[in-house]
Amino acid sequence: MAAQQQGKFTVGDYLAERLAQVGCRHHFVVPGDYNLILLDKLQAHPDLREVGCANELNCALAAEGYARANGVSACVVTYSVGALSAFNGTGSAYAENLPLILISGSPNTNDSGQYHILHHTLGHPDYTYQYEMAKKITCCAVSVPRAVDAPRLIDRAIRAAILSKKPCYIEIPTNLAGATCVRPGPISAVTDPITSDKNALDAAAKCASEYLDGKLKPVILVGPKVGRAGAEKELIQFAEAMGCSVALQPAAKGMFPEDHKQFVGIFWGQVSSDAADSMVHWADAMICVGTIFNDYSTVGWTAVPDIPLMTIDMDHVTFPGAHFSRVRMNEFLSHLAPQVTFNDTTMIEYKRLKPDPPHVHTATREEALTRKEIQRQVQEMLTERTSLFVDTGDSWFNGIALKLPPGAKFEIEMQWGHIGWSIPAAFGYALRHPDRHTIVLIGDGSFQVTAQEVSQMVRYKVPITILLINNRGYTIEVEIHDGSYNKIKNWDYAKLVEAFNSTDGQAKGLLANTAGELADAIKVAEAHKEGPTLIECTIDQDDCSKELITWGHYVAAANARPPRNMSVQE
Ligand code: DPX
Ligand code: MG
């Protein structure tokens, strides 16, 4: 702020100050002439570091990953040609419950009134379309019409994003970024959380005891919103008070410790791990905490719990016959914990059902690389410092089957499911967590979507380890529905990432065809701290997990349900 105190304070400075105050230390950008003055203002803030991205899709996904690490993030793009690409990553933030602040430059405020046709636009002088589109994919969209409106609108959008854990949109015309603006008031007005309504909290707790009354076999099912609500600690406290089994949805992996004695595995219908499936189906009461039941998590609707549920969401609680608004997940869990009756029946049953640890074959150095051997070696890489990103494809199944040591973090984008997400998202995440070892598991098809962002890992010397599993195509799609469209052009992936080095970069690209080559490559990656290491792991085209095949068949069946209103003649 010191430099800004002296000169003129502008709309751009106001935004910069708010971004810094809410905790953004980095902001992700792609420049364009509608946002250049704004970028100058953000750059001038001493607590913000600008991070350039190769394109706006990657820019928004990098910010999506940064929000996972930091709780909030910002992405700055130019009008239309930039923003429309960034909308995809913004959709991810919406689906994944992450407060990403999407900021777009826009036309000079005089242009629409003068009916000017401008570059980068649809070619007609109605410049409201981008703002209208943004409203659909954010919790709050604002378009700043005059400098005097900027403080109010910027604060409104950022507060909405922080409170609802969803993205917001702020549009700033090119001639307003440098316009004079008043200084911001206390940040608490933007960031202070809404606490639970005391009456609703008490009433919901009473309803919970009625729901659990007389139930013999309660189970807790954990969903991905637990992490977004920041309720992991309270969940452990509540689970220990209950004493019952705790199963996790796949996208919640990492949100409850896997070495905890009440952890009974990942509940994913037919492709569940450990004994989670049996425990969930045996239960007569199910406390769902932050769960999301979609076609993927329910394996094509075949794994929807069929008993009445108690559901604790981020800001409300529901029961078979009652709903309580303004009850925050973390507050409710810690409020309820001392009131529940300890009941470990499901743990006693779990001990009887718990499968023996699988026998894992260790390949000899010369053996051709297989998916199972990759999984075995990745398992050995995991430590308390690991943050593991798994991309859409068999990497989901390979990653979910791993055992996370205490402290290890797991990131997955299962609601939005954008192939290639993990490359920019891991980049954004790792900038915020240089202390952690970020590992990415990704397929060849996914990598081809966002490969350019490896060049930012090179530029900013981020030591991410990328294990690219090359099975020559879109295998998950093959299992859902095969066709020639599931084949892709092969690349020399190891050479490609080294091409990003040019004269000054230090990416390493390695190829592993055998178990021994993978073990050697992992050693190189673990020692390399000056940039990313990509290990291309080649496996047979048909070498995929049985979980993927099973899941693929059920999802295909769900996709293929005929229209309900089909007429008899058809
Ligand atoms: C598509 C998917 O190679 O992984 O293990 O071989 O399946 P696997 P790859 O990365 O291929 C991914 C591919 C094409 N999904 O199998 S999952 C459809 C899709 C998507 N996202 C976007 N476009 C298409 N999920 C952006
Ligand atoms: Mg593939």
**Nearest ligand 1 atom, CA 443:** 10
Closest-approaching ligand to the CA atom of 449: 1
Give the neighbor-by-neighbor strand order of the sheet with 309-312: 263-266, 245-248, 218-222, 285-289, 309-312, 316-319, 322-325
Query: By alpha-carbon position, which residue is closest to atom 14 of ligand 1?
Result: 474
Separation of 537 CA from ligand 2 center, angstroms? 11
Secondary structure (3-state) at 542? coil
**Strongest mean pLDDT among 4-8, 81-85, 273-277:** 81-85
Per the annotation, does 126 bind a ligand? no
pLDDT tens-digit readout, 298-316: 999 999 999 999 999 999 9
Q: Are 386 and 437 in contact (CB under 8 A)?
A: yes
Task: Give the single-character DSSP code of 368.
Answer: B
pLDDT of res. 114: 85
* Mean pLDDT to the nearest integer, 118-122: 91
Give the per-residue pLDDT at 4. 47
- Is residue 374 within 8 A of residue 467, CB to CB? The reply is yes
For residue 206, what pLDDT is reported? 97
pLDDT-above-70 percentage for the chain: 98
Q: Give the per-residue pLDDT at 569.
A: 57
pLDDT confidence bin for 481, thresholds 50/70/90: confident
> Ligand 1, residues 477, 479, 491, 542: which to mutate, most atoms within 8 A of Cβ?
477
Q: Give me the pLDDT at residue 1, please.
A: 47
C-alpha 400 – ligand 2 centre gap (Å): 17
- Cα dihedral value 43, 460, 393, 136, nearest 10: 0
For residue 118 the two structure tokens come to 């401008």
Indicate whether 274 pLDDT > 60: yes
Position 300, amino acid: G
Atom of ligand 1 nearest to the CA of 391: 10
Which ligand 1 atom is the nearest neighbour of the CA of 470? 3
Q: Output the CA 462–ligand 2 centroid distance in Å.
A: 25
Q: Which residues line ligand 1 (CB under 6 A)?
A: 392-394, 417-419, 443-446, 449, 471, 473-477
Which of 397, 415, 419 is the pocket-test mutation for ligand 1 (most atoms within 8 Å of CB)?
419
pLDDT at 2: 45
Specify the amino acid at residue 512: A
Is 60 exceeded by the pLDDT of residue 570?
Answer: no
* Ligand that lies nearest to the alpha carbon of residue 470, given by its number in the listed order: 2
Q: Which atom of ligand 1 is nearest to the CA of 418?
A: 21
User: 477 alpha carbon to ligand 2 midpoint, in Å?
Assistant: 9
- Residue whose tokens read 């189970």: 219
95-118 pLDDT tens trace: 999 999 999 999 999 988 888 888
Q: Which atom of ligand 1 is nearest to the CA of 448?
A: 10
pLDDT over 90 at 463, yes or no? yes
Q: pLDDT, tens digit, for every residue of 377-404?
A: 999 999 999 999 999 999 999 999 999 9
Cα(444) to centroid(ligand 1), Å: 9
**394 annotated among ligand-binding-site residues:** no
Q: Which ligand 1 atom is the nearest neighbour of the CA of 488?
A: 3
How many A from CA of 275 to the centre of ligand 1?
Answer: 29
Of 174, 177, 158, 155, the residue nearest 166 (C-alpha):
158
- Of the listed ligands, the closest to the CA of 471 is 2
Which residue of 96, 392, 418, 549 sits with most ligand 1 atoms within 8 Å of its CB, as the best mutation to test the pocket?
392
Q: What mean pLDDT comes out for the span 175-189?
A: 98
Taking the C-alpha atoms of residue 197 and residue 202, their distance in angstroms, rounded to an integer, is 9
- Residue recorded with tokens 């055992």: 403
Residue nearest to atom 12 of ligand 1 (CA): 474
Smallest-distance ligand from the CA of 371: 1
Residue 568 has a pLDDT of 59
Please give the pLDDT value at position 476. 86
pLDDT in tens, 358-367: 889 999 999 9
Q: Residue 408: is its pLDDT beyond 60?
A: yes
Report the pLDDT averaged over residues 121-148: 96
Mean local confidence (pLDDT), 187-197: 97
Which ligand number lies closest to the CA of residue 443?
A: 1
Ligand 1 atom nearest to CA at 447:
10
Q: Residue 200: pLDDT above 80?
A: yes
Q: How far is the CA of 240 from the centre of ligand 2 (A)?
A: 41
Ligand 1: distance of its center to the CA of 199 in Å? 47
What pLDDT is recorded for position 465? 98
CB 497 within 8 A of CB 507: yes
The predicted pLDDT at position 564 comes to: 83
Ligand 1 centroid – CA 500 distance (Å): 24
Q: Is the pLDDT of residue 3 over 50?
A: no
Give the pair of three-digit tokens for residue 465: 């380890």
- Give the rounded distance of the alpha carbon of 21 from its chain centre: 23
Which of 389, 446, 549 to mutate for ligand 1's pocket (most ligand atoms within 8 Å of CB)?
A: 446
- Mean pLDDT (the chain) is 95
Q: Is 471 a known ligand-binding residue?
A: yes
Model confidence pLDDT, tens digit, residues 507-546: 999 999 999 999 999 999 999 999 999 999 999 999 999 9
Dihedral-angle region of residue 155 (phi above 0 means left; psi in -120 to 50 means alpha; beta otherwise): alpha
Helices (H) and strands (E) in the chain, counts: 23, 19
For position 109, what pLDDT does the model report? 94
